[in-house]
Amino acid sequence: MTSNGEWLEIDGERVVQGLQAAREALASAHSDVVLDFSAVRRIDPNALRTMEKLAGLADGKAVKVVLRGVNVDIYKVLKLVKLTSRFSFLA
């Protein structure tokens, strides 16, 4: 990750709003965007749709989105809906 990348913490109670803020940050990003998921314990279908849109925007801009602190249950859901290949992960 470059030193001038974006870093956003995703609130576990407001996941969709955090992801929408990430989409806005991604619109002006020129390097990696790191989303800290350490406070997120579960993810709903609206958040998954927003993540899919975020991945599409990142692909179009050739910007890498890194998810940090994703718990195993969320990773399994992302794997089931085939989103894991569109993100990078940090422990």
For the whole model, what pTM was predicted? 0.89
What is the rounded end-to-end Cα distance, in angstroms, of the chain?
14
Q: Which residue ranges make up each domain of the chain?
A: 6-90
Does pLDDT of 16 surpass 80? Answer: yes
Residue-by-residue DSSP string for 11-68: PTT-HHHHHHHHHHHHHT-SS-EEEE-TT-----HHHHHHHHHHHHHHHHHT--EEEE
Q: What pLDDT was estimated at residue 42?
A: 95
* Cα–Cα distances in angstroms (integers) from residue 84 to residues 13, 28, 48, 72, 87, in the given order: 22, 23, 11, 12, 6
User: Sheet of 6-9: strands edge to edge?
Assistant: 6-9, 33-36, 65-68, 88-90
Q: Which CATH number fits domain 6-90: 2.60.200.20, 3.40.50.620, 3.30.750.24, 3.40.630.180?
A: 3.30.750.24
Mean pLDDT score of the chain = 92
CA-based nearest residue to 75, from 64, 65, 86, 83: 83
Residues 21-47 have pLDDT tens digits of 999 988 888 789 999 999 999 999 999
Convert the pLDDT of each residue in 40-84 to its tens digit: 999 999 999 999 999 999 999 999 999 999 999 999 999 999 999
